[in-house]
Amino acid sequence: MSAPFLDRHLGPSVHEREAMLAELGLASLEDLAAAVIPADILLPPGAAAEGLPEACSEADALAELASIAADNAVRRSLIGLGYHGTATPALIQRHVLENPCWYTAYTPYQAEIAQGRLEALLNFQTLVSELTGLPIANASLLDEGTAAAEAMAMALAVSRRQGARRFLVDRAVLPQTLAVLQTRAEPLEITLELVDPEALSGASLPADAFGLLLQLPGCDGRLWNPEPLLTAARSAGLISTVAIDPLAQVLLAPVGNLGADIAVGSLQRYGVPMGFGGPHAAFFATRDAYRRQIPGRLVGQSRDAEGNPALRLALQTREQHIRRDKATSNICTAQVLLAVMASFYAVHHGPEGLEAIAGRVLALRRALAAGLASLGLSCDGTAGFDTLVLRHHRAADLVARAEAAGFNLRAGVRGEGADEALAISLDELSTSSELETLLAALGDNPAAAAQAAAAMADSLASEGSDADAARAELSAAGLPVRRRAWLDQPVFHAYRCESELLRYIQRLVSRDLSLVHGMIPLGSCTMKLNAAAELAPVSWPGFAHLHPFAPHDQSAGYRRLVADLEGWLAAITGFAGVSLQPNAGSQGEYAGLMVIRAWHQSRGENHRRICLIPTSAHGTNPASAVMAGMQVVAVACDDQGNIDLADLEAKATTHAADLAALMVTYPSTHGVFETGIRRICEVVHHHGGQVYLDGANLNAQVGLCKPGLYGADVCHLNLHKTFCIPHGGGGPGVGPIGVAAHLLPFLPSHPLASLGSSSAIGPVSAAPWGSAGILPISWMYIRMMGGAGLRTASQVALLAANLIAERLHPHFPVLYRGAGGRVAHECILDLRPLKRSCGLEVDDLAKRLMDYGFHAPTVSWPVAGTVMVEPTESEALAELNRFCNAMVAIRAEAAAIENGSADPLNNPLKRAPHTLAAVTADGWDRPYSRQQAAFPAGAVQQGSKVWPAVARIDNAYGDRNLVCTCPSVEELAVRLDSTTLSPTPVAA
């Protein structure tokens, strides 16, 4: 039998753990857990592991998962509805999707060591902006359904129609988008009205409507010219959104040019596997006037301390972590890894390549229509892009015949049943030979099939299959087509040969710091090991290539995977059931609160809307509560950062009649296991409320205590933190919720899957199981670790955090500790005394850590002027030592400022980080040496130096001068002529 996986997952060896325990004066990991976790919630090992599998080796787990994947049947899905077959270029699969340099990176808050993915995201934003004709595009959203819901919320916020609460929705909207809109609209008191947009005109737009959503092409594949309606909507003061297909949009005039205020959609078909529904990169673009209202992350250009262009996240004050309950969106994470894939897909193909793909799809649609007509199966003759609708009394029979031949067609279209209509959606993978096979399956005899194939061949030969032919066909149908050159930025033209693209990808990789370089000790983010064995199955065709709406019997493997994972996560949290649908932590929060809301409603207590939130909570909590139609009431914290029980009791009593919930993070955002957690839950229950537990810090609890057993009613889990799904450089995430038995009936449903009871809330994500395609990662982790291993992992996480607290406390005071004098899985180090003694800001330390080869801990959260360190269980003692040594060395550098031996402004901290260009420049006029600048840790750094790509970035400059797309050729030319701007294009 091969070695247990546990030893590979854990950083410190058994001997190292003993030494670490000895340093802390502890005898065992169990002693440590007992010192950290309140006795009234700590479980013995047996009870903690109940319901969880025994550990197994990597090889055994892979074999077991392979048999599960084999239960999924991968067919050619021509179902469409927002999910399409796509050819992921092998280069992108190997060097982006499967490359830990991309997938283990964190969100690019520390921009100086994230220039690579920031540039890839700028390319993504540029692509979206060019596709949509709208200048401000964000760095991706979770899925098309939630992007449409964000558009609805933004439209409500910016509409000048006072008091209007009606949102008009195209009847041809994707069914899952409509369902997500319905979920989101109800708590915001928005009325959805389904409309036939082609029948609408300026005069028929209701006076109480604030916005309009069109789907082009519609779910029935139909295309029409929206320009008159968009113009009428604009003059009537409605905010209009168009959900577009990014491949069709290659040929069509950008909707922004036709008058749309917002465009949304999904770039899945740009090389991102379907993965049974996700994760994919959705997009959101809008007009310049709404730059401060756009949801999600936005990459923008600024400049660094040397005056060079540099990228970073722009206008962060829009985001929920700052606006809290005034935010109009709770969105935090993006889908960075998938957005990066899609951007490289566009870089790989360039505009001509994309047009060729789109042209071929349209030509094959036309040819297939001819072939079907030859079989006596006439499609409706409307203009479209990739989808044909066949209304036929034998529709169900035809779908069955196609399925027998390996094709999934869509049974039923837009209200017409499976026995009345079917739809066929073509994609990048479609070929004429494949369609001949399909026609053969649909035809009654070989002769008819041969005739149909000939009709198809005739169509292709006579009308052409290039982009020009496609544009001509669309134009002839009265549709506005794309006339002007687009995507002319150099990056979309420079990398046609694979050697060059490989080097470009590698060049971007070399500018980023990720877990391949060293630990990323971000508090509350749990940057633990993302093991290769956990990641590998994501690429298996049995998981990667399933359509989310494929026939039920084709996804037996996924259903087993989901059932296993739901069962294990329920066992871990002590809950009765789990929903895997939320595809980010924020969506988990929202789903959990909506479940609580539905429970109150079911008891005739719809008035319970008060949500108590401690002042220490993450900003997403209040933002989610407002989206769930709740009113936030803050609860004070005491000097130790714990919930002030007296204030909680007072607020709960005051609001007893209307109390809906308390949102509590446990262990607290201050990294402490509050001893009063049971009492806190009792107080809330006593006053009729429910307890929502934010599971951001679950990594301190797994295998040790269970939220469901100490009083929580709902808890969300971040599979991308605690259960090894990598951060992807800023997404994907997965944020399932676990609920107590009384809340089970309210877990989210989905219109296209048998999911949820009759009391269920609507879907919170576009796909039934959210980001199903990455669930194998967490399955592998739990399967390999086993119940006992998970407990050990949590204990080692506590051990590592306490070691760091012990080591660094003499240099940076540890701000909060639990009752036993220990911290939980993270600790907050106070830097405020250094601001007073030598003017040192938290950012100075964060940037200086880059010179030492580290990513900073979480800065100024949850307490301004501090850093929060979470080492996780996966870092070896040598790495923990290296980090502690760097922090101690930085403290010594600060001491040099304090005692006057270093200049207060011109010193290695204030001028960090130091680039290769700066320290190798011919001139060096700083009062410290180049060695100290670049190799502060000494000789140990010589072999492993990570160079920050740019010097300290000026955030204010970029926010005052927003640039969030790549410069075009013309802009570059102007820039080259200019003496005031750098001639170096950021994205060339």
Residues near other proteins (CB under 8 A): 292, 315-317, 322-323, 860, 955-956, 959-960
Q: Give the nearest distance from C-beta 835 to other proteins in angstroms.
A: 13
Instruction: Using the minimum distance from each CB to other proteins, give the nearer residue, 823 or 846.
Output: 846
Distances 22 to 12, 28, 477 between C-alpha atoms, Å: 14, 9, 78
Instruction: Using the minimum distance from each CB to other proteins, give the nearer residue, 312 or 822.
Output: 312
| Nearest-angstrom CA–CA distance, 388 and 375 | 15
| Nearest-angstrom CA–CA distance, 844 and 948 | 14
Q: Give the nearest distance from C-beta 388 to other proteins in angstroms.
A: 49
Q: Give the nearest distance from C-beta 569 to other proteins in angstroms.
A: 36
CB of 226 within 8 A of CB of 242? yes
CB of 221 within 8 A of CB of 384? yes
Instruction: Using the minimum distance from each CB to other proteins, give the nearer residue, 652 or 951.
Output: 951
CB of 710 within 8 A of CB of 730? no
One-character DSSP codes across 323-383: HGGG-S-------HHHHHHHHHHHHHHHHHHHHHHHHHHHHHHHHHHHHHHHTT-PBP---
Strands 866-869 and 282-286: unpaired
Instruction: Using the minimum distance from each CB to other proteins, give the nearer residue, 315 or 383.
Output: 315
Q: Give the nearest distance from C-beta 611 to other proteins in angstroms.
A: 22
| Nearest-angstrom CA–CA distance, 883 and 804 | 9
- B/e letters for 203-218, b = 16+ CB within 10 Å, e = fewer, are eebeeebbbbbbbbbb
Instruction: Using the minimum distance from each CB to other proteins, give the nearer residue, 326 or 607.
Output: 326
Instruction: Using the minimum distance from each CB to other proteins, give the nearer residue, 924 or 957.
Output: 957
| Nearest-angstrom CA–CA distance, 217 and 414 | 13
Instruction: Using the minimum distance from each CB to other proteins, give the nearer residue, 941 or 955.
Output: 955
Q: Which residue in 165, 211, 171 sits closest to 190, CA to CA?
A: 165
CB of 161 within 8 A of CB of 237? yes
Query: Cis (ω within 30 of 0) for the bond into 100?
Result: no
Q: Give the nearest distance from C-beta 116 to other proteins in angstroms.
A: 23
Q: Report the length, in residues, of the chain.
A: 988
Q: Give the nearest distance from C-beta 315 to other proteins in angstroms.
A: 8
Going through 759-899 in order, the beta strands assigned E by DSSP cover: 827-830, 858-859, 866-869
Residue 196 CB-density burial (10 A; 0-12 exposed, 13-18 middle, 19+ buried): exposed
Instruction: Using the minimum distance from each CB to other proteins, give the nearer residue, 93 or 955.
Output: 955
Q: Give the nearest distance from C-beta 317 to other proteins in angstroms.
A: 4
Please give the order of strands across the beta sheet that includes 166-170.
136-137, 282-286, 262-266, 239-244, 209-216, 166-170, 191-195
| Nearest-angstrom CA–CA distance, 120 and 721 | 24
CB of 117 within 8 A of CB of 510? no
Q: Give the nearest distance from C-beta 118 to other proteins in angstroms.
A: 16
Q: Give the nearest distance from C-beta 292 to other proteins in angstroms.
A: 7
Instruction: Using the minimum distance from each CB to other proteins, give the nearer residue, 301 or 573.
Output: 301
Instruction: Using the minimum distance from each CB to other proteins, give the nearer residue, 159 or 765.
Output: 159
| Nearest-angstrom CA–CA distance, 261 and 575 | 44
The token pair at 816 is: 């909060």
The token pair at 988 is: 């060339």
Q: Which residue in 583, 731, 982 sits closest to 124, CA to CA?
A: 731
| Nearest-angstrom CA–CA distance, 844 and 96 | 32
| Nearest-angstrom CA–CA distance, 732 and 725 | 8
Instruction: Using the minimum distance from each CB to other proteins, give the nearer residue, 315 or 709.
Output: 315
Tally of CB atoms within 10 A around 415: 10
Q: Give the nearest distance from C-beta 154 to other proteins in angstroms.
A: 17
Instruction: Using the minimum distance from each CB to other proteins, give the nearer residue, 94 or 321.
Output: 321
The token pair at 236 is: 């009537």
CB of 877 within 8 A of CB of 19? yes
Q: Give the nearest distance from C-beta 898 to other proteins in angstroms.
A: 18
Q: Give the nearest distance from C-beta 841 to other proteins in angstroms.
A: 10
CB of 903 within 8 A of CB of 839? no
Q: Give the nearest distance from C-beta 960 to other proteins in angstroms.
A: 5
Gap between the terminal Cα atoms of the chain? 52
The token pair at 968 is: 């075009």
Instruction: Using the minimum distance from each CB to other proteins, give the nearer residue, 160 or 960.
Output: 960
Q: Give the nearest distance from C-beta 206 to other proteins in angstroms.
A: 28
Strands 659-665 and 166-170: unpaired
Strands 209-216 and 166-170: parallel
Q: Give the nearest distance from C-beta 378 to other proteins in angstroms.
A: 57
Instruction: Using the minimum distance from each CB to other proteins, give the nearer residue, 268 or 329.
Output: 329
Instruction: Using the minimum distance from each CB to other proteins, give the nearer residue, 483 or 835.
Output: 835
| Nearest-angstrom CA–CA distance, 669 and 675 | 14
Q: Give the nearest distance from C-beta 949 to other proteins in angstroms.
A: 20
Q: Give the nearest distance from C-beta 179 to other proteins in angstroms.
A: 33
Instruction: Using the minimum distance from each CB to other proteins, give the nearer residue, 316 or 539.
Output: 316
Instruction: Using the minimum distance from each CB to other proteins, give the nearer residue, 292 or 483.
Output: 292
Q: Which residue in 269, 234, 236 sits closest to 80, CA to CA?
A: 269
Q: Give the nearest distance from C-beta 617 to other proteins in angstroms.
A: 17
Instruction: Using the minimum distance from each CB to other proteins, give the nearer residue, 393 or 960.
Output: 960
